[in-house]
Amino acid sequence: MKPPEIFALGSPTVGWACGCSRRGASHRSGSQPCQDAFALWSGAIRGGPRLVAAVADGHGDARHDLSDVGAALAVQVAVSELCSFHVGHADPPDAQMRRDFKSDCPRIISRRWREAVRSDASERCPTVIAPSSAPQELATELADESPLFRRYGTTLLTALLTPETLCVAQLGDGDIVWLRPDGECERPFPVELAIGTETDSLCSPNAQVCWKTATLDRRAGGLLLLTTDGLPNSFADDTAFDQFVGSLRQRIHDHGFGGVADALPAWLDHYSDQGSGDDMTLVIIEVPPIDEHSNPPGEQ
């Protein structure tokens, strides 16, 4: 059964999230699949509400012919690992969790993604990575794994929310934007010059050191966006994209979170048709302010 394109979930203390992936205009005309993916999870870990989000953009180039699968694996792995990671950090304050998020998550997610790729490849074509009996041949096999990972190449953006903490991480292109209540758009990872075709990737040999991580001050609440680069690339410049983000918050205010979630497929198609032509994925998380009286924040 085809999975639904829109999800909306969350809780009053952590926030509400929805997401949508759409095949880009250029992919529709070329009969290519959507190579983006996203995953959301909301629930309780040791009694505390949590929300996890992940967005991935498969590279799409001919050398990355399984990148749609790579993107799907990446978001599954990220959500799974961030939930597991948080099991060990469920008691506030979250200072230790933030440190561990920075030091451990990139390494663990990168490793798990490679394991998932090996597993997928072995199901598709067991001879591709059939284990070798001879040690010297095994060494050759491992050295030759980069072409396999390259076929699944993808970016990955993640967010982990607790009632006290908001951690984000990014590998490769795409945007994470935090719209504060004062209307200012904060980019935890300022976008470097984006010249067309190159990005860091989970398939990079040094993927674990290409990650960027940050903790955002969520005390006053805000709107968090995770998006593949197809959407920001459809705007004239960052100012125009910031205008989109501010306008999006107004749409949520006017029409409700559910109304905006329902509108996302048509909006993303519009931006792809009129703009970059790329696949597009947008995850929106509306983060409520912390109630200082009932739930004191941890160290920020």
Partner 1 sequence: MAGAVTPAIPVPEGTVARKSLQFFWLTDCSGSMSGKKIATLNQAIREALPEIRNAVGGHPEVQVSMRAICFADDAKWHVGPKAVPIEQFVWPELAVAGGTATSQAIRLLTGELNAEQMPRRGLPPVCILISDGYCTDPASEYDAAIAELLKQPWGLKAVRLAIGISDGDSSYDEEQLLKFVSHPEIGVLHADTPQKLVQYIRWASVNASVGASLGKSKVGGGEAGGANVELPAPPSIEPTLGTATDVW
Contacting residues toward partner 1, per CB under 8 A:
25-26, 57, 59-64, 146, 150, 153, 155, 173, 191, 193-201, 203-206, 210, 229, 232-238, 240-244, 246-248, 250-251, 254-255, 259-260, 262-263, 266-267, 270-272, 274-278
Determine how many CB atoms are found less than 10 A away from the CB of residue 237: 9
Q: How far apart are CA 221 and CA 250, in angstroms?
A: 15
Cα dihedral 23→230→209→94 (10° resolution): -90
CB of 286 to partner 1, least distance (A): 15
CB-nearer residue toward partner 1: 6 or 128: 6
CB-nearer residue toward partner 1: 158 or 234: 234
Cα dihedral 267→273→279→284 (10° resolution): -20
| Cα 249 to Cα 113, 262, 285, 288, distances in angstroms | 33, 15, 11, 13
What would the two tokens of residue 195 be? 């010249």
CB of 195 to partner 1, least distance (A): 4
CB of 9 to partner 1, least distance (A): 18
CB-nearer residue toward partner 1: 2 or 293: 2
CB of 196 to partner 1, least distance (A): 4
CB of 200 to partner 1, least distance (A): 6
CB-nearer residue toward partner 1: 178 or 244: 244
Cα dihedral 283→284→288→290 (10° resolution): 40
What would the two tokens of residue 217 be? 């001050």
CB-nearer residue toward partner 1: 64 or 218: 64
